[in-house]
Amino acid sequence: MKRWMKLAAGVVAISLATAGCAGSGGSGEAPNNANTPQQLSGELTVWLMTGSAPDTLTSALHKEFQDANPGVKIKYEIQQWNGIQQKLTTALASQTPPDVIELGNTQTPQFAAQGVLADLTDSVNDMNGSQWLKGLKDSATFDGKVYGMPFYAANREVLYRKDMFEQAGITTPPATRDELLAAIDKLKAKFGSDPDFQAMYVPGQNWYALLSFIFDEGGDIAKAEGRNFKATLNSPEAKAGLEFYKKLVDASGTKAPKDNDESNPQQAGIYGGGKVAMFIGTPNEVATAAKTDPTIKDKTGAFAIPGKTAGKSAPVFLGGSNLAIPVNSKNTAAAKAYLKMFSTQKYQTEIAKGGFVPGTSTDISALSSDPFASVMAKAAQNGRAVPSSPKWGEVEAGQNPLKDMMTAYITGAKSLDQATTDANAALDKLLAGS
């Protein structure tokens, strides 16, 4: 027994020592700001998520950067979404963290609040800061300091079958909610005899679409109270938004599951099956649908998610990513220079060509040739993000109260008041956290 005690004591001592000397980065090594010309060197590890940056962008950017900085070698690795939280977390704790990382905009506040990202406030102007996309900038700002550079954004719109609209006698795309409901009725009148037909595919838990309706009513998910957030899902505006969503589900004759979201099953795949006239999605879902039916792309058009009043489409939820530099990066100066080059018009245009709204440029002309992306880009100017709470990442990581709220109300399991009150309480609990 005594020997055991001794051994245990030794073990404690060792573990304290090892835990204590963990990754010592973060302090004191903030290099001079990027304005002073200096010879950059070393290996710059860049982690971007799969599907984010077109290859044309990265290959051109990396070539130009390495030509300009012969001492720097870029190690570019594409990361997968699966398990990214654990991978990033552990990589940041290593002696050699990646130097540039991509963070989802809903994930950024958590990392910023934990102090593991380098403060970029002084470099914003170097990175075309005046043109940053507001929704993304907000998500990368914490306590007045900036911890990330907007990368790209995407938002939702209504994608529809032009041919079906024509056959049903709908000449102009709906611009208001009432026109949308009227279009659904016309489509049903024309194609309703086919039992598989769905005028609009509306899954019960597409909460991104719900947000548009809530925003349009003037509501929000939560409001900031100092540093904290207070859920506002039981506000009259949020209730009205949810009510309209249910109306849409009921009117559309959708066969989509009421207890799942737009990716289970993948709505673009269903749309590609040819029996759906409309759905709310992002422009790049057209490509997914085209995998099912290559001809569908030419038959598809897009219009902004209609608002209550004509001439003003609904605000949209802005999804996207930021680029950030880990605080313990060994190559902060090179990483900042990299972001600076990334933010230039040339590469922002590449992002736009890839079908996304660029993060650091308001010039979206490259998107105008694409019928789907141009509608999206216009709506993006009226885009809003989720509350920039460090806790929001946890809300989306698992049991999102908004989804449960939608299913409960749409299936009739709960009344409107009950569903919103319960969700509000659940969200408050998550946002307050521990």
* Positions in 298-337 near another protein (CB under 8 A): 326-328
Instruction: Please select the residue that binds another protein; options are 9, 68, 189, 287, rule is CB under 8 A.
Output: 287
Q: Rounded to the nearest whole angstrom, what is the least distance from the CB of residue 417 to another protein in the complex?
A: 17
Instruction: Please select the residue that binds another protein; options are 309, 397, 415, 432, rule is CB under 8 A.
Output: 397
> Locate tokens 């690795």: which residue?
77
- Please report whether residue 11 would count as binding another protein according to CB under 8 A: yes
Instruction: Please select the residue that binds another protein; options are 167, 284, 344, 345, rule is CB under 8 A.
Output: 284
- Strand pairing class (319-324; 149-154): antiparallel
> Locate tokens 């506000």: which residue?
235
**Segment (H or E) for 2:** helix 2-20
- Please report whether residue 82 would count as binding another protein according to CB under 8 A: yes
- Please report whether residue 412 would count as binding another protein according to CB under 8 A: no
- Strand pairing class (357-358; 149-154): antiparallel
- Please report whether residue 56 would count as binding another protein according to CB under 8 A: no
* Positions in 118-177 near another protein (CB under 8 A): 154
Assess contact for 401 and 120: CB atoms under 8 A: no
- Please report whether residue 242 would count as binding another protein according to CB under 8 A: no
Q: Which is nearer to another protein, 301 or 401 (CB)?
A: 401
Q: Rounded to the nearest whole angstrom, what is the least distance from the CB of residue 72 to another protein in the complex?
A: 18
Instruction: Please select the residue that binds another protein; options are 65, 111, 245, 409, rule is CB under 8 A.
Output: 111
d(CA 230, CA 432) in angstroms, rounded, equals 8
Assess contact for 360 and 127: CB atoms under 8 A: yes
- Please report whether residue 28 would count as binding another protein according to CB under 8 A: no
- Please report whether residue 257 would count as binding another protein according to CB under 8 A: yes
Q: Rounded to the nearest whole angstrom, what is the least distance from the CB of residue 12 to another protein in the complex?
A: 7
d(CA 370, CA 125) in angstroms, rounded, equals 30
Residues linked to residue 150 through DSSP beta bridges, in sequence order: 322
* Positions in 212-241 near another protein (CB under 8 A): none
Question: In terms of C-beta density within 10 A (0-12 exposed, 13-18 middle, 19 or more buried), how is residue 129 classed?
Answer: middle
Assess contact for 42 and 71: CB atoms under 8 A: yes
Residues linked to residue 300 through DSSP beta bridges, in sequence order: 161
Instruction: Please select the residue that binds another protein; options are 282, 331, 382, 389, rule is CB under 8 A.
Output: 282
- Please report whether residue 25 would count as binding another protein according to CB under 8 A: yes
Instruction: Please select the residue that binds another protein; options are 83, 144, 226, 311, rule is CB under 8 A.
Output: 83
Helices 55-68, 345-353: axis angle to 10 degrees equals 160
Q: Rounded to the nearest whole angstrom, what is the least distance from the CB of residue 306 to another protein in the complex?
A: 23
Q: Rounded to the nearest whole angstrom, what is the least distance from the CB of residue 84 to another protein in the complex?
A: 9
Q: Which residues of 269-278 are buried (b: 16+ CB within 10 A; e: fewer)?
A: ebbbebbbbb
